Amino acid sequence: MSEATKYRLHSVVEGYVQGVGFRYFVLDIANSLWITGWVRNRADGNVEVLAEGERPLLDKLLQALYRGPRSARVFNVTEEWHTASGEFSSFSIRSTQG
């Protein structure tokens, strides 16, 4: 698959999403779908995700962001779509954005 057929999804998940294992939930799903990128907590209490991969797999990740882990309460998920940059080789948890 060429990089041209891959996409980049940038999402911010709003709600009760910190302190409930949300980042590890996203990490597990991204790894199972062979998606690259990162997830991090934001200082405003939300969770930010930047992910790259095939569109159908990113759509599955996006559905999971709306659901979240059992103890999370998701109120809104923003989504921005771009062409993938190919800059990531894996998916990781980044430190909180200040």
Going by C-alpha positions, the residue among 77, 70, 4 that lies closest to residue 47 is: 77
| Rounded distance between C-alpha atoms, residue 33 and residue 58, angstroms | 8
- Has 70 been annotated as catalytic? no
* Active-site residue identified among 8, 23, 67, 76: 23
- Has 76 been annotated as catalytic? no
Task: Tell me the angle at which helices 22-32 and 55-67 cross, rounded to the nearest 10 degrees.
Answer: 160
| Rounded distance between C-alpha atoms, residue 71 and residue 54, angstroms | 29
* Active-site residue identified among 8, 40, 41, 94: 41
For the annotated catalytic residues, the residue numbers are 23, 41
